[in-house]
Structures are given as C-alpha cells and as structure tokens.
C-alpha cells in the first residue's frame, strides 16, 4: 500500500490521546473484551487454551475491564474490544495459538481505541544529510575517547575569556596602583 493510498483511506494527522489521561490518575481505555469461540471447532483451539490457562489471570490484573465469554456453534473465533470513546475493535483469531491470542489481548488492552492513522511528519528537506544529524559530541577532541578518568587536565573548568567582574577588578587594581604612585611622587 502506498503512502498516498494509506492517507486517502485511513487519513493522517497528529497523534491523538485521550485528554489528560495520566494526569492525576490513569484511566484504562479498554472497557469490555468479548471472547467469541466455538466449543468444538478446531480453529478455536488456541482461544479455548487461552480461556482455560490465562483468562483468569488477565481478569485479576485488569479489574476495570469487563470480560465476556460467548460460545458460538460452528463460527470462527474472534476478539471484540470496546473502548471508552465508543470505538470497537474486532480481531479474528482463527487458528491462532494461545501465545498469539495472549499478544493480541495485550495489544487491545494497551490501545486507546482511536483508529490507527499515519502520523504527519512536519520535518522535510529536499537534500537530506548523508553524514547524519548533528550531535553535541560532533566536533569534540578525540583524546576524550581514550582518556583514563578521573583526569586532572580534563576535569578543570574551561576558561575561555575574562568575565566582566574580572575586568573591573583589574581596572580597579590599575587605578589603585596609579593613585599610590601619585601619592609617593
């Protein structure tokens, strides 16, 4: 799928998050998850294993999520997730293993419920750098890489030029010397 096609059908925009979620306290966006499966069909084997082994632990760790089990005869298994913002997510779990279903459940638990969108990149250049981006260590001395620390020479503060206070002190000392020389002569 090309970028143009993705933007045409799925849209693009900045990342969206639920307003103020995490400021004060975190509100889990997943409200309900429904496990739909067949009790006898072979494609639901992974779903049945997950329900037997891991579902109770998932419900214990996520008390804010309502868990429904919906057995259906001769239908393929799926997960239905309902979020706080009213969005629904369906994931077909036909012939998935227990581990795959565990990963999908974790994916649904961590989502915000907003549709997946292409994120807009506001940075663009016609001539990208082949040397890589600038870093603060780009033009540093190479002896810093092989020095043994602690190092007295490298630990001293860099003094590039006189401060305004130091210049004023020097002018005061010169003026003081001149006034003493005038007094003595």
Tell me: the pLDDT tens digits for 5-14? 656 666 666 6
Q: What CATH number does the domain located at 26-113 have? A: 3.40.30.10
The whole-model pTM stands at 0.60
pLDDT at 154 over 90: no
Cα-Cα-Cα-Cα torsion 68, 71, 72, 75, nearest 10 degrees, comes to 90
Rounded to 5 degrees, φ, ψ at 16 are -115, 140
Q: Domain-by-domain residue ranges, the chain?
A: 26-113
| Residues constituting the chain | 185
pLDDT tens digit sequence for 57-105: 999 999 999 999 999 999 999 999 999 989 999 999 999 999 999 999 9
Q: Which of 42, 34, 84 is nearest to 59 (CA)?
A: 34
Does residue 168 sit in helix, strand or coil? Answer: helix
């Amino acid at each position: 799928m090309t970028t143009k096609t993705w933007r045409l059908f799925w849209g693009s925009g900045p990342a969206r998050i639920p307003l103020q979620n995490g400021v004060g306290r975190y509100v889990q966006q997943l409200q309900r998850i429904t496990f739909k499966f067949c009790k006898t069909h072979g494609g639901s084997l992974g779903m049945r294993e997950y329900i037997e082994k891991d579902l109770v632990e998932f419900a214990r760790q996520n008390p804010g999520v309502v868990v429904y089990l919906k057995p259906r005869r001769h239908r393929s298994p799926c997960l239905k997730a309902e979020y706080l913002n009213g969005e629904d997510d369906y994931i077909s779990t036909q012939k998935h293993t227990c581990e795959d279903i565990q990963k999908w459940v974790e994916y649904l638990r961590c989502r915000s419920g907003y549709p997946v969108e292409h994120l807009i990149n506001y940075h663009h250049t016609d001539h990208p750098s082949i040397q890589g981006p600038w870093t603060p260590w780009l033009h540093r001395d190479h002896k810093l890489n092989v020095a043994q620390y602690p190092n007295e020479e490298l630990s001293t503060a860099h003094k590039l030029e006189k401060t305004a206070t130091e210049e004023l002190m020097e002018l005061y000392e010169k003026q003081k010397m001149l006034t003493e020389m005038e007094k003595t002569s």
